[in-house]
């Protein structure tokens, strides 16, 4: 296990503080690991996935004796050492050719893991097209009716979103939307097993459309992979629940007194407080006029006089 570090200078202290649990978390760092045996396809895939994940990525160029489904101690060690919580492990064997294992950690312990094997992969460098800049936020596209049904698909979707969504932001530059990661779920196999999934990456070209919104054209950038699912290791329900907890500070505040009615109109309720009836302005009438007792006496005598006057005129 790792020794605990006591900070002896300000720099180390800052780094350790940055690694502590926070309400608003850092972008998850991914580690790309080569297993004891890899093929060219796996190497290319790892390199391309690393390029897309940069700058929040660490590339392990040496081979590692690592079998994530048998022993997770290596992953835990790497996770703690690098403060990383995402892993892609590339291996190649006769039984499981061209395999990528996507793994996720929670609190430096393995959360869940999914294995895919690449049936056909074309690396980024084979597409002679413009590439997106490093560290841009991608758009995601999940096509097909399977993505919410099968645990394999659900996990792969969640994993991919988690890997590449980057910093959670409240605004995004429209000019900075440069590429799309599109994943299409092919049909199920005849035995009812999950079928192929097609991962494609495209750069986005905005064209004029004659209206305010632009016309979108896509140019394939690579990598392009056709994959099938392998083994899967799902998260323990209690750990999963714990990992999904949202801190109180980040929960959206409930807006009081604003509701939406059946028609979708927003209805507001306003509280006026208690009304003071003594100060309310009603119809002005002499009889309701407020007066002091002395004034009262004066005025009553006035009234009498006036009545007398009118009598005279007649």
Partner 1 sequence: MDVSGVLEAHKQKFKSIAVEGKLIPVQYDLGLLAAFDENPVDTAELNRNKDEYLQALSRDNAQLLFNEIFQLQTISDDNGVMAMLPTPTTLLPREKPLPKPKPETRWEKFAKAKGIVNRKKERMVYDDASGEYKPRWGYKAINDDGTKDWIIEVPAGANPMEDQYGARREAKKERIDKNDKRRQRNMEEAAVATKMDQKAVNKGDRPNMDNVRSMKRREIENQILISKSSTASAGKFDASIKGDLKPKGIKRQFESTITDMSKEKAGNMSILDRVVGKNGEDLVNVRKAIKSTKSRH
Please tell me the total number of residues recorded for the chain in this structure: 314
CB of 132 vs partner 1, minimal distance in Å: 13
56 scored as a contact of partner 1 (CB under 8 A): no
How far is residue 59's CA from residue 48's CA, in Å, rounded to a whole number? 11
245 scored as a contact of partner 1 (CB under 8 A): yes
C-beta neighbour count of 204 within 10 angstroms: 17
Please pick, from the candidates 59, 186, 232, 233, the single residue that binds partner 1 as defined by CB under 8 A. Answer: 186
Q: Which of residues 21-50 bind partner 1 (CB under 8 A)?
A: 21-23, 25-26, 28
Q: Are 152 and 273 in contact (CB under 8 A)?
A: no
- Which of these ranges, 45-53, 61-69, 208-216, 279-287, lies near partner 1 under the rule CB under 8 A? 208-216
> DSSP of 15-75, one letter per residue?
HHHHHS--SSPPPPPEEEEE-SS--HHHHHHHHHHHHHHTTSEEEEEEE----TTT--HHH
16 scored as a contact of partner 1 (CB under 8 A): no
Q: Left (φ > 0), alpha (ψ -120 to 50) or beta: where does 305 sit? A: alpha
Is the omega angle on the peptide bond into residue 86 within 30 degrees of 0, that is, cis?
no
CB of 98 vs partner 1, minimal distance in Å: 18
Please pick, from the candidates 36, 37, 40, 209, the single residue that binds partner 1 as defined by CB under 8 A. Answer: 209
CB of 195 vs partner 1, minimal distance in Å: 10
CB of 178 vs partner 1, minimal distance in Å: 11
225 scored as a contact of partner 1 (CB under 8 A): no
Q: Site for partner 1 (CB under 8 A): how many residues?
A: 72
Strand-pair partners of 122: 224
CB of 143 vs partner 1, minimal distance in Å: 5
Give the dihedral of Cα atoms 165, 171, 175, 176; nearest 10 deg: -30
CB of 180 vs partner 1, minimal distance in Å: 5
Q: Which of residues 70-129 bind partner 1 (CB under 8 A)?
A: 85, 104-107, 111
Please pick, from the candidates 43, 59, 74, 184, the single residue that binds partner 1 as defined by CB under 8 A. Answer: 184
- What is the x/- site pattern for partner 1, positions 126-155, by CB under 8 A? -----------xxxxxxxxx-xx-------
Residues 6+ apart with CB under 8 A from 303: none
């Amino acid at each position: 296990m790792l020794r605990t570090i006591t900070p002896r200078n300000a720099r180390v202290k800052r780094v350790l503080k940055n690694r502590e649990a926070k309400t608003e978390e850092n972008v998850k760092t991914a580690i790309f690991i080569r297993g004891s045996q890899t093929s060219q396809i796996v190497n290319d895939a790892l390199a391309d996935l690393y390029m897309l994940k940069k700058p929040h990525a660490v590339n392990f160029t040496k081979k590692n004796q690592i079998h994530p489904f048998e022993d997770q101690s290596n992953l835990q060690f790497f996770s703690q050492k690098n403060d990383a919580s995402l892993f892609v492990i590339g291996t190649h064997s006769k039984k499981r050719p061209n395999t990528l294992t996507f793994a996720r950690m929670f609190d430096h312990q393995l959360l869940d893991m999914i294995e895919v094997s690449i049936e056909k992969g074309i690396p980024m460098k084979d597409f002679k097209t413009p590439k997106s800049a490093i560290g841009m936020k991608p758009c995601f596209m999940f096509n097909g009716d399977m993505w919410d049904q099968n645990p394999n698909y659900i996990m792969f979707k969640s994993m991919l979103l988690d890997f590449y969504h980057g910093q959670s932001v409240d605004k995004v530059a429209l000019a900075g939307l440069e590429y799309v990661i599109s994943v299409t779920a092919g049909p199920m196999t005849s035995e009812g097993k999950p079928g192929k999934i097609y991962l494609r990456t495209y750069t986005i070209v905005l064209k004029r459309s004659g209206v305010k919104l632009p016309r979108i054209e896509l140019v394939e950038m690579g990598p392009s992979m056709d994959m099938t699912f392998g083994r899967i290791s799902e998260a323990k329900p209690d750990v999963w629940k714990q990992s999904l907890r949202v801190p109180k500070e980040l929960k959206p505040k409930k807006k009081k007194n604003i509701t939406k009615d059946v028609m979708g109109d927003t209805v507001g309720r306003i509280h006026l407080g208690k009304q003071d009836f003594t100060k309310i302005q009603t119809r002005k009438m002499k009889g309701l006029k407020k007066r002091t007792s002395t004034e009262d006496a004066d005025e009553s005598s006035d009234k009498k006089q006036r009545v007398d006057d009118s009598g005279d005129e007649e």
